[in-house]
Chain A
Amino acid sequence: EFRRFSLERSKPGKFEEFYGLLQHVHKIPNVDVLVGYTDIHGDLLPINNDDNYHKAVSTANPLLRIFIQRKEDADYSAFGTDTMTRKKNVLSNVLRPDNHKKKPHIVISMPQDFRPVSSIIDVDILPETHRRVRLYKYGTDKPLGFYIRDGSSVRVTPHGLEKVPGIFISRLVPGGLAQSTGLLAVNDEVLEVNGIEVSGKSLDQVTDMMIANSRNLIITVRPANQRNNVVRNSRTSGSSGQSTESSLPSSTPNILANSLQGEEESDEEDIIIEDSGEPQQIPKAAATSESLESLTQIELLHESTQNGFLPSSEMNLNHSAGSVSMEYEVQDPDHKSLEEDGTIITL
């Protein structure tokens, strides 16, 4: 199936919205798909986060060709920079996977299946000797996997050097989240937990604080090894807030220093089961009488207009100079017919 519609090049919006839009225009709201595009070299590259989505939009010239595969049928080998040199027809690979007689490749999960596990944040506001590490515990079964202990550290005071009690990381569990990030090490001194200083607090208090924040733990440490500190001057690279050490590609955490107080509620929603039904997240009670649903609707409508989609019945292919035209291809046996019904897009 093919679809074609326009998108404002200057305001591409977020990947999630784009993804939702794709699902909507193809009427496959609950089908997980892989999204890819062909770049100028003809390589089939994935779109799975804001960065490569924006990159894709910016390379469209003027048409951006998008390929959508149902996730469970996806042929991961189709992606890659070598797709041209391997002299394989990308399209044929995608469209006729039966013809593809290659040996089964080792399946490496798509980048979108990765989730952030850790990041270094607030580099610009912290002293270089400190490191603020965020551990993303949610959605993983991996244990946080570290231990803390009491200890003493030396501080410079007006009276000279002074020994003060402190909290230190004492052990990393092999295979645990903390160890796998490589951002925390034994003997690192813990200075803050989610923005709250630990000085003056007992080991048990700090333990309780960390466990209470375990779903979104932000620890500020003074690393025992000071040689791997983020060097502030390298900020010219433009990736200031980002870690050079994050072991896995991650999206920008978008954390502001003042958000450390634990205002990220999304990961904290309690679950309710009503009358033995399905578990649901407990919504936040609206300040007004409006229901939560209506609130979300308003937001999404607002965003969709921003993104340049008009609630018109026709897709304008050559909408304006700033817009990008797109072409869709959906591999879906249930939707063989070519459709261009121009759904009203009100997500």
Chain B
Amino acid sequence: MRRFLRPGHDPVRERLKRDLFQFNKTVEHGFPHQPSALGYSPFLRLMAIGTRSGAVKLYGAPGVEFMGLHEENNTVMQIHFIPDQCQLVTLLDDNSLHLWSLRQHSGASELREEHRFTLKGPPGSPPSATQVTAVLAHSSRAVLYLGTESGSVFVVELPSFRVLEDRTITSEAVLQRVPEDSCNRRSCELVEALREHPKNPNQILIGYSRGLIVLWDLQNSRATHHFLGSQQLENLYWQRDGSKFISCHYDGSYTQWPVSSDNRQPDPLENLVPYGPFPCKAISKIYWQTTKNGLPYIIFQGGMPRASYGDRHSITVIHGSQQTAFDFTSRVIDFFIIFSSEPTAESDDPSAMVVLAEEELVVIDLQAAGWPAVPPPYLASLHCSAITCSHHVSNIPLKLWERIIGAGSKQNTRSSSMAWPIDGGTNVAPDPPQRDLLLTGHEDGTVRFWDASGVCLHLLYKLSTVRVFLTDADPNDNMNTLGEDEWPPLRKVGTFDPYSDDPRLGIQKIYLCKYSGYLAVAGTAGQVLVMELNDEDAEHVVDHAEADLLQDQEGYRWKGHEKLKTRDGPVRFEAGFQPFVLIQCQPPAVVTSLALHSEWKLVAFGTSHGFGLFDHQQKRLVFVKCTLHPSDQLALEGPLSRVKSLKKSLRQSFRRIRRSRVSSRKRRGVGGNASEVQEANAKFDQDTLQEMELAPVQRKIEARSAEDSFTGFVRTLYFADTFLRDSSRHCPSLWAGTNGGTVYAFCLRVPPAERRMDEAVRAEQAKEIQLMHRAPVVGILVLDGRGTPLPEPLEVAHDLSKSPDMQGSHQLLVVSEEQFKVFTLPKVSSKLKLKLTALEGCRVRKVTVANFGSCKSEDYSENDLAVLTNLGDIQIISLPFLKLQIRYPCIRKEDVSGIASCVFTKYGQGFYLISPSEFERFSLSTKWLVEPRCVVGVPEATSNNHLHNKPGTENAARRS
């Protein structure tokens, strides 16, 4: 029979499929994995981030983003925007230079690679001769100056990348023009910095690694000034008027130098070791910004006392008597200052500092008192604590949306109210069709609520469950409690904190009812919290209930972790979701499934031992059911206990490493190239991996049996109002599916609303189905008389769904990892099935019902199953006939964590982690497609030859 129902070649259906389904990876949310370079264009007001995998990402105003990928997949070392152009140049660690352009194409801008170039020296010269160490994009927009390891500065024409050999500034030429007594041959090795004079484009400052700094006149090819630093040079920065510049050094000092026509070899004005007198770490980058009131800002990276604070990732801002060393949670990759780039302005007047750290982006408002952080609208650090689960809720009612935003804004009182300072480009994408929430559960016991409606995934509200429990987390571990007179004046900034003190707090399952605002959250130590949204902060007692899932079984001993200790007495909760009841599973094994029915006020939860039903209205446990096979010793003992302790010790050792690690100095050149070493390591890992793949790995072929371990593991829970016992009366029911292929169905009696508090909810087991193939049950669904999945609780009450058809006979769809099966109800007989594993060798990892609308006709839509397999393929399977519609490769099958993290939306989109910190968003639908679409205007080219040009005024007006 099924053979005839297989996807045939019905042309009408094939056409409809084209109108319904389409696969696109649309946008990457979150923070780029392993960023390696940062660039900023004050002209375009765009920021560029390069990564170790060769990606370059541009960000402007919220919604304005572009991504490019270097074919080589090499680490991006430097990014430089061409002044006054929609162009940028990237330098990779293979010493290649790449020119990228933003070009408008059918109403939207696109980032494209235009040219690539590798500097070649004369035949026979060592590779160091042309190893690029410094890049200067000259304000003439016609040339790039490339400083090299050999000390020569090459001049390359743009956009052709033609080397202008006659204009090369060799170290020999420089030496000839510098008095011999002040330096030797080696002084001109390795160009550390190239800086164009802010007022005179014909002069550039060349800083050599050993401390010699030369002001070079491009027209006359001669050194007008030279400056003899005694310390190894790190970086240079011009003061705005070009009368002074500042250099920073390896020993943690910085030096101000005067530039005047009367002294060709001036002495430093001032030489300071800000965190001396003990040996300090290098200052790797420095800014000197003038202000209207005369007090300059000096901002530098590093320079901490080597012995006591050498492991800090700091940037110090000094403004008059104010001095703060911002202490970042991870290594600082690079930073830039946003300041007034109007050429007519007399001072810089910096407004914001943008810092790219390895794990997050931090923006500091330099104008507001206390220099607060500006919450970024994008580039969120999803992994500030490791993501343990995610849950997507589509089409949030406006009321709930506003309440969540309200709760979130109360949490952010200390952040700056500054408008997002990086605001180039225009977002021309249509407004998101609906309000979507993505909830991520984290290892530290928090749930983060993200606005996932559009291109910018940003944090709305953060919920912490920690308050309910007593943990050994040190409450004095607050980084901001340093007193006034502490030195250095460190201030912790950023949210990245991957080290959870108690892994039992980890969130494993989340269920939010968008109509009632009820939220259920379950964690690693068998804790289930039911919460309600409260717009005010409140102090109340959280009710406790225990659910002994082993009930009748005796003589078992749980060897896993203990349950979390709870706080006695009332607990103060901030506005937002506030827990009112805690159900503790016993044994406290990780909660593996969770379902909430807000209309019946019931919450169901399952672990590897069984499942239970809790009435959160009466705060009473309705029943528990043990699903454990008596011989399943592994599940009983909590097999993860050993793994956990290993994980803990690993975490501790990581911490030790983190404390003791000397921040790796930015180093260039072939010899000490850290990233090259890492790359080599990665390559080695890859090779060994490949070898391992070739080695004869064996796989055991054995049928599943009832005695297998973890058969009782509850994989899925489902509430349905359906015909469980007879075909004339429907009743509330709870369905549970286990790892061993068993489906339990319980008939529930929920008292009517008026007697809801007086009568007890009752449950009775009505059915137990054992799938003979014994594969884990990953999804249970009831289809109504029309073959449509039953609506969510309260969906009908809110007029957002048709009432289900209770006339025709209902059907039960059971999805196991291997098969899809439809059974009739109430008498269970098998009706249809689709075998997946037996035929294709892939297994179901994720399954959801998704609604697909046609892009051609407004009123046509249908429900299908969106399925992700263990091979990373996505399949769409029709309902109720279980016909395979289409298949798309989506995730690499080796990317196990990507596959495990995938979450589908109700309208055919989805998210999965491409790195610990980034979600890839994809769409299966032709209709619901959220992707960036933006324009970066090309303001009329000015003939202004200043390095920092005025921004397009229209750009400035386009703040969102």
Contact = CB atoms under 8 A, between A and B. Distances in A.
| A-B complex is real | yes
Interface of A: 137, 143-151, 170-171, 178, 194, 196, 201-215, 261-262, 267-276, 279, 282-287, 292
Contacts of B770: 270-273, 279
Contact of B841 (A206, A272, A275, A279): A206
B703 A282 contact: no
A262 B833 CA distance: 12
Contacts of B766: 274-275
A201 B841 contact: yes
Nearest to B2: A263
B769 interface: yes
Given A170-B696, A212-B818, A147 B701 contact: yes
B186 interface: no
A24 B461 CA distance: 74
A148 B701 CA distance: 7
Nearest to B818: A212
B491 interface: no
Interface centre among B701, B725, B768, B843 (most CB of A within 10 A): B701
A274 B837 CA distance: 29
Contacts of B398: none
B53 to A, nearest CB: 25
Interface in B887-911: 893
Interface stretch (B75-83, B530-538, B794-802, B823-831): B823-831
Contacts of B823: 282, 285
A282 B825 CA distance: 12
B474 interface: no
Given A170-B698, A271-B770, 14 more contacts: A149-B696, A171-B698, A205-B840, A206-B699, A212-B835, A214-B701, A214-B703, A268-B772, A273-B770, A275-B725, A275-B766, A275-B767, A285-B824, A285-B831
Contacts of B697: 149-150, 203
Contacts of B767: 272-275
**What secondary structure prevails in chain A residues at the interface with B?**
mixed
Given A150-B694, A273-B767, A144 B701 contact: yes
A13 B772 CA distance: 31
Interface centre among A144, A214, A271, A274 (most CB of B within 10 A): A274
A146 B835 contact: no
B702 interface: yes
21 contacts: A149-B698, A150-B697, A170-B696, A170-B698, A204-B699, A204-B870, A206-B841, A208-B842, A208-B870, A209-B838, A209-B840, A209-B841, A268-B773, A272-B767, A272-B768, A272-B828, A274-B767, A282-B823, A282-B830, A283-B829, A284-B831
Contacts of B162: none
Given A149-B696, A151-B696, A207 B701 contact: yes
Nearest to A273: B768
B772 A211 contact: no
Contact of B769 (A202, A203, A212, A270): A270
A215 B699 contact: no
Nearest to A145: B702
Contacts of B694: 150
Contacts of B893: 202
Interface in B635-666: none
B701 A203 contact: no
B353 to A, nearest CB: 49
A268 B772 CA distance: 6
A271 B823 CA distance: 12
Interface residues of B, number: 43
A218 to B, nearest CB: 11
B841 A262 contact: no
B702 A211 contact: yes
A194 B838 CA distance: 8
Nearest to B747: A275
A305 B838 CA distance: 39
A320 B743 CA distance: 56
Contacts of B571: none
Interface string B860-875: 0000000000110000
B777 to A, nearest CB: 11
Contacts of A285: 823-824, 829-831
A208 B842 CA distance: 7
Contacts of B703: 137, 143-144, 211, 214-215
Contact of A209 (B769, B821, B837): B837
Given A274-B766, A276-B765, A283-B829, A214 B696 contact: no
A14 B775 CA distance: 35
Contacts of A171: 698
Nearest to B741: A270
B357 to A, nearest CB: 38
A146 B701 contact: yes
A284 B829 contact: yes
A84 B661 CA distance: 94
Given A151-B696, A194-B838, A205-B841, A212 B775 contact: yes
B893 to A, nearest CB: 8
B941 interface: no
B12 interface: no
B771 interface: yes
Contacts of B264: none
A196 B838 CA distance: 9
B839 A196 contact: yes
Q: Which 4 A-B pairs have the closest CB atoms?
A: A205-B841, A214-B703, A212-B837, A207-B699
B957 interface: no
B360 to A, nearest CB: 36
Contacts of B725: 275
B473 interface: no
B167 interface: no
A36 B687 CA distance: 68
Contacts of A206: 699, 841
A283 B772 CA distance: 13
B1 interface: yes
A150 B696 CA distance: 6
A146 B842 CA distance: 21
Given A215-B772, A279-B770, A208 B837 contact: yes
B694 to A, nearest CB: 7
A214 B702 contact: yes
B821 to A, nearest CB: 8
B843 A208 contact: yes
B702 A143 contact: yes
Contact of B700 (A147, A209, A215): A147
B785 to A, nearest CB: 15
Given A212-B775, A274-B766, A284 B702 contact: no
Nearest to A178: B701
A137 B705 CA distance: 11
B704 interface: yes
Contact of B704 (A202, A211, A276, A286): A211
Contacts of B870: 204, 208
Contacts of A286: 829
A215 B773 contact: yes
B839 to A, nearest CB: 6
Contacts of A276: 765, 768
Given A146-B701, A147-B701, A208-B843, A284 B830 contact: yes
Interface string B755-788: 0000000000111111111010000000000000
Interface centre among B700, B823, B828 (most CB of A within 10 A): B700
A196 B699 CA distance: 19
Contacts of A273: 767-770
Given A207-B699, A262-B835, A271 B769 contact: yes
Given A145-B702, A150-B697, A285-B831, A212 B765 contact: no
Contacts of B840: 205, 209
Contacts of B772: 215, 267-271
B842 A205 contact: yes
A69 to B, nearest CB: 34
A282 B769 contact: yes
Interface string B693-728: 110111111111000000000000000000001000
